[in-house]
Amino acid sequence: MKILAADIGGTNTKMGICNEQGHVDQFKEYPTESDKGGPYVIDKLLVQMAAYEDFDAIAVSTAGQVNAAEGFIVYANENIPNYTGMRIKEIVENRFRKPVKVENDVNAAALGEAYFGAAKSFDDFLCLTFGTGIGGAIVLNKQIYRGANGVAAEFGHIFTHPLTETSGGAGKPYYETYASATALIRMAQDADPECVDGKVFFDKIRLGNDSLYRILQSWAAEAAVGLASLIHIFNPSAIIVGGGVMEQEELVRLVEAQTRNLIMASFADVNILKASLGNKAGLLGAASLFLN
């Protein structure tokens, strides 16, 4: 079976033909231009999809809260204006006359790792992506747990600090306020304005910048607090951590060490693993909705 899969992100959209073995052919990436709004994003998606031939079905991974059963956006924040309510499944099916499935991007990434990546050995695990915010997914018996309203696993919005406390006016005392990649770069820039992105930040650390390394340790401690709480709640076999910042193997190990310092001994057999599929995780996870 050949699946035309797309992964709509706030910055870029990925697309390609996926098969049962997890191979992606005819891969391409283009700017989402999300600031132009949901209708523009989907119109552009249709144009890009029309360049493909010879596929059996279409799978879409997308930012935002998704009603997977009906294939529409339950809620999307200001990163993609006018996206809430967008009926992606209906629009794409009407255009291409092929079966279509739609999934939230973090859920899709988790499924990709479950069937083709770091979580292949686990039936039950959690997946977190550390980016602009913190996205989450719960996988039970290789299936996404969706909750009563279909929007479970908003891990970035668990509270890890007192309600009266905020981080530099950055927002409410949520986990992602303190432990997202956005939070890390904000902390780094407060100490060194040259740290405009993760690459500059980690390059300076590798050159021996001790003050920035201490910031990294402080951020890792914030990440560990959330992970330890989730481990104590779910008792998962594994936690898969992804997002651009977690491409740094040394950071994953630092977060793991700090997490293990916080959890009870009876939970110590949990595996904390780096996501392995990179920017193709969403594509493969969306495709797996048809393949499995």
Residue 39 is inside which H or E element, if any?
helix 38-49
pLDDT, mean of residues 127-144: 93
24 in the same domain as 128: no
252 in the same domain as 182: yes
100 in the same domain as 133: no
Report whether pLDDT(252) > 80. Answer: yes
* Both structure tokens of 213: 């390394």
Per-residue pLDDT band at 160 (split at 50, 70, 90): very high
Report whether pLDDT(230) > 80. Answer: yes
138 in the same domain as 85: no
The amino acid that residue 180 corresponds to is S
200 in the same domain as 129: yes
Please state the domain count of the chain. 2
Phi, psi of 94 (to 5 degrees): -65, -30
**Do residues 152 and 138 touch, judged by C-beta distance below 8 A?**
yes
Q: Which residues fall within 8 angstroms of residue 234, CB to CB, at 6 or more apart?
A: 126, 138
145 in the same domain as 252: yes
139 in the same domain as 59: no
Report the pLDDT value the prediction gives residue 208, as an integer from 0 to 100.
95
pLDDT, mean of residues 241-261: 94
Domain range enclosing 30: 3-105+279-291
125 in the same domain as 252: yes
pTM: predicted TM-score of the whole model, two decimal places: 0.88
Locate tokens 């989402």: which residue? 32
227 in the same domain as 138: yes
The amino acid that residue 97 corresponds to is R
Q: Quick check: is 112 in a domain?
A: no
Average pLDDT, the chain: 94
Report the pLDDT value the prediction gives residue 227, as an integer from 0 to 100.
98
Per-residue pLDDT band at 166 (split at 50, 70, 90): low
- CA pair distance 76, 87, nearest whole angstrom: 13
